[in-house]
Amino acid sequence: MKKKILIYAHYYAPDVASTGQILQDLAEGMTYEFEVTVICTVPSYTGKIAEEYKRKKVFREKIGDVRILRVPVPEFTKSSKKSRIKNLLAYYLGARKATGMVGEQDYVFAISQPPIMGGMLGVYGKKKLGAKLIYCIQDFNPEQIMATGYFRMKPILKAAMWLDKRNCRKSDLVVTVGRDLCETLEQRFQGETVPNYVMINNWIDEKEIYPLPPDDAGVTAFRREYGLDEKFVFMYSGNIGLYYDLEGLIQVIGEFQNAKTPDGREVMFAFVGAGSVLDKLKSYQQDHGLTNVVFIPYQEKERLIYSLNAADIHWCVNAKGIKGVSCPSKFYGIAAVGKPVLAVLESGSEVRMLIEEIGCGKCVEPGEYEEIRKTILWFIDHANDEDFLRMGKSAYEYLGMHLTKEASVRKYVEAINRL
């Protein structure tokens, strides 16, 4: 008889949040070993909620072999702290209530989203259900909040640190997604007993996202739809939020108006996604008349393969201070389509180390805008030469050998079964 595992997912399919996609892969991938139940919000990552999800207190669904309980939350605006906090609290309280509806569980799996509250849900579920707790830290908070200056009230940040250290202590296993995050966990508990932990890389489903030829119908249709035909495209794909210094990068991008590759293609910079700083980027584009920038909405999961393949090169960026507290999962999608990477990441961060070890891109420190400008220029000057093409090929080959969905899910199953 299979053991049972409850996953607190916050966002889950069909929401396009990167953690939601990872948890969907994990939940579905573990069904061969466990009976899996997920507690999450109604689809709401964009801030809007469809009418059909406004009529009940709990929505019961099933996707494949995964049982899902969705809890209602209020609509919110990503640029409004007040509305976001109200939304997060609604999820936290709703998920606690839904915990009493899932029956006996052997394991509880919580993720570090929402910040602090994700781990608190795991601790609550462990106590209520008498289960073992696995706490997966995708982002360390309050460290991430402190690094970006999003919130500055020291007493509250101190309390948040105490709470999340408690979440770690109460866990039977802490999972981090990078070597630098392991260092942060150890530093948190310096002079104390470090909780039992393991590192498991994130992934992309390499059977859904893979390289396509430039003349693929879906790729050409995407490029045509957004004015990227016959262009050399730098693409940022993902959350256009607080932790990536995109406001600084767009100022550098503005210097490349009318730039062309040696074979005559105009250079374009595409931002695919949404987030709290999107309006600021759009305002900057309009105020400075940037004709080399295009903003593209989030793509449905089935279209992601076309959007990722439509780029010639991808950005993988974090703001300064994010090393050790967050790991940009977008790298795995970039590698899956075999594209070179322009990485603006701190030395010693997990993804930068991977890029340097693989040789699949060029790396620059956050905030080093002159070096970023030079690196953009290098990629333009070397568009599609031997070194450029080798980078993308190296990324794809490495992912196939080491970073597949199946390999990472298997590591989770093995780690849980050892508890």
What are the residue boundaries of the structural domains of the chain, listed by start?
A: 3-203+404-417, 217-401
Q: What is the pLDDT of residues 325-363, one digit of tens each?
A: 999 889 999 999 999 999 999 999 999 999 999 999 999
Position 151 scores a pLDDT of: 64
Mean pLDDT over 130-159 rounds to 87
Residue 383: DSSP 8-state = T
In the predicted model, is pLDDT for residue 147 greater than 90? Answer: no
In the predicted model, is pLDDT for residue 320 greater than 70? Answer: yes
Which CATH number does the domain 217-401 belong to among 3.40.50.300, 3.40.50.1370, 3.40.50.720, 3.40.50.2000?
3.40.50.2000
Position 150 scores a pLDDT of: 62
How far, in Å, are 41, 115, 171, 180, 343 from residue 411 at the CA level? Answer: 27, 25, 18, 19, 27
> Does residue 237 contact residue 272 with C-beta atoms inside 8 Å?
yes
In the predicted model, is pLDDT for residue 153 greater than 80? Answer: no
Mean pLDDT over 178-197 rounds to 96
End-to-end CA distance of the chain: 18
Mean pLDDT over 282-303 rounds to 94
Which CATH number does the domain 3-203+404-417 belong to among 3.40.50.2000, 3.40.50.620, 3.40.50.80, 3.50.30.30?
3.40.50.2000
Mean pLDDT over 98-117 rounds to 96
Do 3-203+404-417 and 217-401 come out as alike in CATH topology?
A: yes
In the predicted model, is pLDDT for residue 231 greater than 90? Answer: yes
Residue that wins the pLDDT comparison between 28 and 298: 28
Residue 260: DSSP 8-state = B
Separation between Cα atoms, residue 115 and residue 113, nearest integer Å = 5
- Quick one: pLDDT band at residue 300, thresholds 50, 70, 90? confident
Comparing CA positions, the residue from 58, 66, 54 lying closest to residue 23 is 66
Q: What is the pLDDT of residues 262-274, one digit of tens each?
A: 999 999 999 999 8
Separation between Cα atoms, residue 164 and residue 184, nearest integer Å = 13
Comparing CA positions, the residue from 402, 145, 157 lying closest to residue 165 is 157
Sheet of 66-71, strands arranged across: 59-63, 66-71, 34-41, 3-10, 107-111, 132-137, 173-176, 197-199
Choose the weakest-confidence range: 58-62, 135-139, 144-148, 389-393: 144-148
- Residue 210 sits at the vertex; the CA angle it makes with 206 and 212, to the nearest 5 degrees, is 170
Position 76 scores a pLDDT of: 87
Q: What is the pLDDT of residues 39-48, one digit of tens each?
A: 999 999 888 8
In the predicted model, is pLDDT for residue 65 greater than 70? Answer: yes
In the predicted model, is pLDDT for residue 380 greater than 70? Answer: yes
Establish whether the linkage from the previous residue to 114 is cis, with ω within 30° of 0. Answer: yes
- Residue 338 sits at the vertex; the CA angle it makes with 18 and 278, to the nearest 5 degrees, is 40
| Chain mean pLDDT for the chain | 94
Mean pLDDT over 15-38 rounds to 93
